[in-house]
Amino acid sequence: MHKLKNIFILLYRKKKVNVMGRRSKFEASFKGKVVLEAIKEQKTLNELAKEFKVSPSKIAVWKTEFLQKASAAFAKSDTSQEKLVKDLNAEKDRLLKKVGELTIKNDFFARACEDAGLKVR
């Protein structure tokens, strides 16, 4: 049973590998699971480090980072993605308006050319 648990943890961790072949970062879901266990304080950092095969200092760093950013979960701020969507919608509206103006001008000049007896495409 203990080996099965270790295999599950290794599969769950799914470390990413960079170009050089070294392990670089843990998945966010794995970090979250470790941090939530650390916040519960039912086990020491050393126990968690052995269980998840991560150094205690790394768990402490993740916990600190998690607690510092926890308030962002409840903040109603204009995130960069929301701002980007607003900017893109504004640009789309501006371009649609411009297309409408150019269509009206094109139609006007096409009729004027027909009235003048000029060839229209």
Q: How confident is the model at residue 18 (pLDDT cuts 50, 70, 90)?
A: very low
Distance CA 105, CA 24 (A): 58
Q: What percent of the chain has pLDDT over 70?
A: 76
In the three-class reduction of DSSP (H, G, I as helix; E, B as strand; rest coil), residue 63 is classed as: helix
Instruction: State the pLDDT at residue 19.
Output: 45
Q: How confident is the model at residue 17 (pLDDT cuts 50, 70, 90)?
A: very low
CATH code matching the domain that covers 1-75, chosen among 2.40.128, 3.30.2450, 1.10.10, 1.10.3470:
1.10.10
Distance CA 33, CA 25 (A): 15
pLDDT tens-digit map of 69-112 = 888 778 776 677 888 899 999 999 999 999 999 999 999 999 99
Q: Under a CB-based contact definition with an 8 Å cutoff, are residues 84 and 92 in contact?
A: no
Distance CA 58, CA 44 (A): 13
List the domain boundaries for the chain. Answer: 1-75, 78-121
Instruction: State the pLDDT at residue 2.
Output: 54
Q: How confident is the model at residue 1 (pLDDT cuts 50, 70, 90)?
A: low
Residues 6+ apart with CB under 8 A from 60: 38, 45
pLDDT tens-digit map of 48-68 = 999 999 999 999 999 999 999
User: Residue 61: beta bridge partners?
Assistant: none
